[in-house]
Amino acid sequence: MHRLDRLHLQYPFYGSRGLRNALRAEGYRVNRKKIQRLMRQMGLLAVYPRRRTTIPNQGHRIYPYLLRGVAVTRPNQVWAADISVPQQAA
């Protein structure tokens, strides 16, 4: 636990897998579940950037929705296009 604490201070962004790899490189025989248990016991958490999926970029322009209030009453009155990039098959 002492060595785990030292490693966490040196590499605060390491999670259980990173700390396990660092300890194994030093010759300790540990698995990830033991590291997870010790981290929980010691109150250690990895430091990483939070998700920011809903915050727009500062220079992002908000475009108006042009079809609001328009009643679509006949064929070919409104057209749409999909400009997204298709996923590549792995």
Which residue ranges make up each domain of the chain? 2-42
CA distance 47 to 57: 23
Mean pLDDT, range 14-25, rounded to an integer: 96
Confidence of residue 75 (pLDDT cuts 50, 70, 90): very high
Burial (CB count <10 Å: 0-12, 13-18, 19+), residue 46: middle
State yes or no: pLDDT of 60 exceeds 90: no
Mean pLDDT computed over every residue of the chain: 90
* 33 or 61, greater pLDDT: 33
Burial (CB count <10 Å: 0-12, 13-18, 19+), residue 89: exposed
Instruction: Tell me which residue of 1, 77, 78 sits closest to 37, measured CA to CA.
Output: 1
Mean pLDDT, range 27-46, rounded to an integer: 95
